[in-house]
Structure 1
Amino acid sequence: MILMTLIAAAAAVFIYRRYIPVAGIEPVGEKPENKTVIDLRDFNESYKTPITGALNIPVAYLKRYHQEIPRDNLHIIASNKVEKNMGARVLREKGFHVCSYSIPEKKSFV
């Protein structure tokens, strides 16, 4: 019974960190003024469509390279909602103030 409770608790934490939206972060369509822009997309994706002036640190590297991020208001760019949620939570755990986010449209090649 205790094992089932531990498994359920671990699953709940996993689902919360990935899929429950982070409160207080607003979607923004354009690059915001007076905010540091952090590109959380994978290197392969950010290389194809670079964001001028953005600091590119993929979500997988945030815990290792968070010292490189200035202590300003942050705007994050992510490729999807899961990446946005995980990145915002890691940044908040490290003491950063994430204000807004954007998810660029993917261009489909037909």
Structure 2
Amino acid sequence: MYFLVIITFFILMVLYRRHMPVWGIGELREISNVLYDRVDVVILDIRDYQTSIKNQIVNAYCLPLPYLNRHYTDLPIEKDIIVVASDQVEVNLGARFLRKKGYNVVGFYLPSQVRKDSYNYGVQCANEK
């Protein structure tokens, strides 16, 4: 019985860390030129190198999520951080890790996410030019 409770608790903790949103950070719809000019904000791209090279963010620190544990000390701790990720799970894992290490994560941006108001199925119809 205790074994089952421990396994259930472990599974719930893993699901919480990966899928529950991090409190206090908001999603940015786009990264504007105003953010590039601010000196108190760091844009951290935690996507894979193969993904981030296709859609590069100007002036962003490119540090994939698996390398974050080794190289997080290269980031300035006194600045706010905006996380650029490919999906919500990467945002949750990266933001929780950085907050645990004392960094202030203020927002995230998902560049590959298709918005609800956009029309993009990946296939061009015959009537679309």
TM-score by length of 2: 0.79
Instruction: Tell me how far apart the structure 2 counterparts of residues 104 and 52 of structure 1 sit (CA, whole Å).
Output: 13
Does residue 87 of structure 1 match 2:94?
Answer: yes
What value does the CA root-mean-square deviation take over the aligned residues? 1.6
Q: Deviations over 1:5-24 (max 9, x none)?
A: 11111101100000000000
Residue in 2 aligned with 1:66? 72
Residue in 1 aligned with 2:127? none
Q: Deviations over 1:66-109 (max 9, x none)?
A: 01111110000010001100110011011100001110036875
The count of aligned residue pairs is 110
Q: Deviations over 1:36-71 (max 9, x none)?
A: 000010111011111110001111111111011111
Residue 105 of structure 1 aligns to a residue whose secondary structure is coil
Instruction: Tell me how far apart the structure 2 counterparts of residues 30 and 69 of structure 1 sit (CA, whole Å).
Output: 22
Residue in 2 aligned with 1:41? 47
Unaligned segments of structure 2, at least 5 residues: 114-119, 124-129
Q: Shift of the alpha carbon at 1:27?
A: 0.8
Instruction: Tell me how far apart the structure 1 counterparts of residues 60 and 122 of structure 2 sit (CA, whole Å).
Output: 25
Q: After the TM superposition, list the runs of 4 or more consecutive aligned residues in structure 1 that deviate by more than 3 angstroms.
A: 106-110
Instruction: Tell me how far apart the structure 2 counterparts of residues 3 and 20 of structure 1 sit (CA, whole Å).
Output: 25
Unaligned segments of structure 1, at least 5 residues: none
**Which has the higher Rg, Structure 1 or Structure 2?**
2
Residue 48 of structure 1 aligns to a residue whose secondary structure is coil
Q: Which amino acid aligns with 2:97?
A: V
Q: Shift of the alpha carbon at 1:2?
A: 1.4
